[in-house]
């Protein structure tokens, strides 16, 4: 709903009243995306797609700096390809969309019916390890062909039963990197290197603090030897996986026959990796930073940085105000915010006060009002999205131009610091099973409050204990921290001896 005199917030319900519905309303009010006619799919609108483009451009540059090159592979995967790697097909079988016919024919009643049965069903890609592996098997013949470092930007389809825009949809956009190496250690180094890149993206650009670690065996990518992950805490204290990188060993190389002649003239299977992030990152931005007035965008990847809102109450003022506005826009656009030109919107609608709230809901970092009185004083009236909607100040025009980059950096830092404080406040070291269960259990079952967070608790390493926690509480091991100190304790589930704590949380 829009802001009015009776409403206390621009978004209803608020986060504390109904977090799930609040999320949907933020997506709608910020004009990021909408549901499509196809169940579980989304239409990403220009404001949301610009956000994805900025994320994509940042990542693409970081990938290429490490030698990765982009390519494109088919949307359709022969069913027999997925059958080559047993764990992989088992992990994705229930989510696969399958094409079985290649044309439509008109039926007796005028409706269209599928016809032309395919000789072999085609799976709409849920991920591309198998079909990229097929290409790699032809591209690699000698150790001189390695390493092979490939990425593709594309869409994938996973037939989800319960969907939510950006977080879990039947079709989504992502990048998936795939590499092949002659040396095991080199492949593992690449796996961890890409996770470091994702960490830099999350923390430096999205302003989202993340924990970095390894998944337990039951949480690994299907067919992987090791899966490494980034986990972020959302404002409802649940975890969101914001990037994964997989060391695949030689499993997929054997399934796809990716082998080469070594320097010793022996035939050897390659070591492979895969890694990816998706439009789920936009969901992470929403749930980490948005408030009860709408979206809050980190300047480093914001769809635009500044909106200029000319205020024209008399026709006679229009030329003066618009000339001032366009002149200011030109000077702002001539500057760089880090490696990107400052992006400026001009909103010259006649909505007056209402358009300010539109931009607050869209999360633009800086709002600038320009009226005849401001021009007379050679100043602008500025609001920042990291502050309250009514916290605005008059700033001399030239000073605003000189300090806009510093202002954007302040907003970026404030957003990260705020999210980090929230995570630390809601991360707890727990030693007793009673306290652990209480931590993840709502106090009022009829109207559950937001509860839980990240629990650092001991785990003996037994999958039975992991499954018990998951069954009892819908809580999973989010990651095993690489720098966790060895510490003797008792498993939170069975009480057996444990030498390390892991991160438990409810998750999306």
pLDDT tens digits along 118-177:
999 999 999 999 999 999 999 999 999 999 999 999 999 999 888 999 999 999 999 999
Quote the pLDDT of residue 1. Answer: 34
- Reported as a single tens digit per residue, the pLDDT across 248-275 is 999 999 999 999 999 999 999 999 999 9
Q: Quick one: residue 474, left, alpha or beta (phi over 0 = left, psi -120 to 50 = alpha)?
A: left
Q: How many residues make up the chain in this entry?
A: 508
Please state whether the predicted TM-score (pTM) of the whole model is above 0.85: yes
How far, in Å, CA of 383 to CA of 379, rounded? 13
CB atoms within 10 A of CB 110: 6
The continuous run of DSSP H or E covering 375 comes out as helix 372-376
Residue 239 is predicted with a pLDDT of 98
Give ∠ CA 136-52-166 in degrees, rounded to 5: 95
Q: Which of 277, 268, 305, 295 is nearest to 408 (CA)?
A: 305
Q: Kindly state the tokens that stand for 354.
A: 């209402």
Task: Show Cβ contacts of residue 136 under 8 Å, excluding neighbours closer than 6 positions.
Answer: 148, 178, 180, 256, 258, 270, 272
The per-residue pLDDT for 101 is: 97
Token digits for 340? 């990107």
Q: Where are the beta strands (DSSP E) in 27-95?
A: 33-35, 42-44, 69-70, 76-78
Please report which helix (H) or strand (E) contains residue 363, including its range: none
Please state, in angstroms and rounded to a whole number, the distance separating the CA atoms of residues 445 and 31.
34
Evaluated on CA atoms 15, 18, 20, 23, the torsion sign reads negative
Nearest to 359 by CA among 414, 322, 304: 304
Domains and CATH numbers, the chain: 19-288 (3.30.930.10), 306-422 (3.40.50.800), 427-505 (3.30.110.30)
Kindly give, in sequence order, each residue whose CB lies less than 8 Å from that of residue 498, ignoring residues fewer than 6 positions away: 458, 459, 460, 461, 488, 489, 490, 491
What residues of the chain score a pLDDT lower than 50? 1-6
CB atoms within 10 A of CB 219: 19
Residue 169: what pLDDT?
96
Q: Please give the pLDDT value at position 83.
A: 87
Question: What CA–CA distance (Å, rounded) separates 497 from 491?
Answer: 6
Q: Give the H or E element holding residue 233.
A: strand 226-233
CA angle 137, 143, 145 (to 5 degrees): 60
């Amino acid at each position: 709903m829009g802001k009015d005199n009776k409403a206390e917030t621009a978004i209803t319900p608020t986060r504390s009243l109904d977090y799930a519905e609040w999320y949907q309303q933020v997506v709608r009010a910020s004009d990021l995306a909408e549901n499509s006619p196809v169940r579980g799919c989304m239409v990403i609108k220009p404001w949301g797609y610009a956000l994805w483009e900025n994320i994509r451009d940042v990542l693409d540059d970081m990938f290429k700096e490490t030698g990765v090159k982009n390519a494109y592979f088919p949307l359709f995967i022969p069913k027999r390809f997925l059958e080559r790697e047993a764990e992989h097909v088992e992990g994705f079988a229930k989510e696969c969309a399958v094409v079985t016919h290649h044309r439509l024919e008109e039926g007796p009643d005028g409706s269209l019916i599928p016809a032309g049965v395919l000789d072999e069903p085609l799976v709409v890609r849920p991920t591309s390890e198998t079909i990229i592996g097929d290409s790699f098997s032809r591209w690699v013949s000698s150790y001189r062909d390695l390493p092979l470092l490939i990425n593709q930007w594309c869409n994938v389809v996973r037939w989800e039963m319960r969907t939510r825009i950006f977080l879990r949809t039947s079709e989504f956009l992502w990048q998936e990197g795939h590499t092949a190496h002659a040396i095991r250690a080199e492949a593992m180094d690449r796996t961890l290197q890409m996770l470091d890149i994702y960490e830099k993206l999350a923390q430096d650009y999205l302003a989202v603090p993340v924990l970095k670690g390894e998944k337990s065996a039951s949480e690994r990518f299907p067919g992987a030897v090791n899966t490494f992950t980034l986990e972020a805490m959302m404002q409802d204290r649940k975890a969101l996986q914001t990037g994964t990188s997989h060391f695949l060993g030689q499993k997929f190389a054997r399934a796809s026959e990716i082998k080469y002649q070594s320097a010793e003239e022996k035939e050897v299977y390659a070591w492979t990796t895969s890694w990816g992030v998706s439009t789920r990152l936009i969901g992470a931005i929403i749930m980490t930073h948005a408030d009860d007035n709408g979206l809050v965008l980190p300047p480093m990847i914001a769809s635009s940085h500044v909106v200029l809102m000319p205020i024209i109450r008399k026709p006679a003022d229009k030329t003066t105000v618009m000339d001032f506005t366009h002149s200011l826009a030109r000077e702002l656009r001539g500057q760089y915010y880090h490696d990107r030109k400052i992006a400026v919107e001009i909103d010259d609608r006649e909505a007056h006060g209402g358009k300010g709230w539109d931009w607050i809901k869209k999360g633009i970092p800086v709002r600038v009002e320009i009226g005849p009185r401001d021009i007379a004083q050679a100043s602008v009236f500025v609001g920042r999205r990291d502050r309250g909607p009514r916290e605005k100040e008059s700033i001399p025009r030239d000073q605003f131009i000189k300090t806009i980059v510093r202002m954007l950096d302040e907003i970026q830092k404030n957003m990260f610091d705020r999210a980090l404080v929230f995570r630390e406040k809601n991360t707890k070291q727990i030693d007793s099973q009673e306290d652990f269960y209480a931590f993840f259990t709502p106090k009022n079952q009829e109207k559950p409050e937001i509860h839980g967070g990240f629990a650092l608790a001991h785990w003996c390493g037994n999958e039975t204990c992991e499954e018990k926690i998951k069954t009892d509480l819908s809580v999973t091991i989010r990651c095993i921290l690489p720098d966790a100190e060895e510490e003797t304790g008792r498993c939170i589930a069975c009480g057996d001896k444990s030498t390390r704590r892991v991160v438990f949380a409810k998750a999306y």
